[in-house]
Amino acid sequence: MVTRAAKFSIQGLHVHYGSLCALRDLNLEIAAHELFTVIGPANSGKSTFLNSLNRLIDLEAHSRVSGGIRLDGIDIRAGLEVEALRRKVGIVFALPLPLPISIYENVVYGLRMQGVRDAKALDAAVERSLRESYLWEEVKDRLRTPAMNLSGGQQQRLCMARILAGQPDVLLFDEPTSGLDPISTARIEETLLVLKEKYTIVLVTNNVAQAARVGDRTAFFLMGEMVEVSATSTMFTTPADSRTSDYITGKFG
pLDDT tens for 125-177 read: 999 999 999 999 999 999 999 999 999 999 999 999 999 999 999 999 999 99
pTM attached to this predicted model: 0.94
Q: Rounded to whole angstroms, how far apart are CA atoms 248 and 227?
A: 13
Spell out, as residue ranges, where the chain has pLDDT lower than 70. Answer: 1-4
Helices (H), the chain: 46-53, 82-88, 103-113, 119-132, 136-139, 152-164, 182-195, 208-214, 232-235, 242-248
- Residue 40 three-state SS: coil
Question: What are the structural domains of the chain?
Answer: 6-248 (3.40.50.300)
- For 41-44, the CB contacts below 8 A with 24+ separation are 41/222, 41/247, 41/252, 41/253, 42/206, 43/223, 44/221, 44/222, 44/223, 44/224
Closest CA to 159 of 92, 110, 210: 92
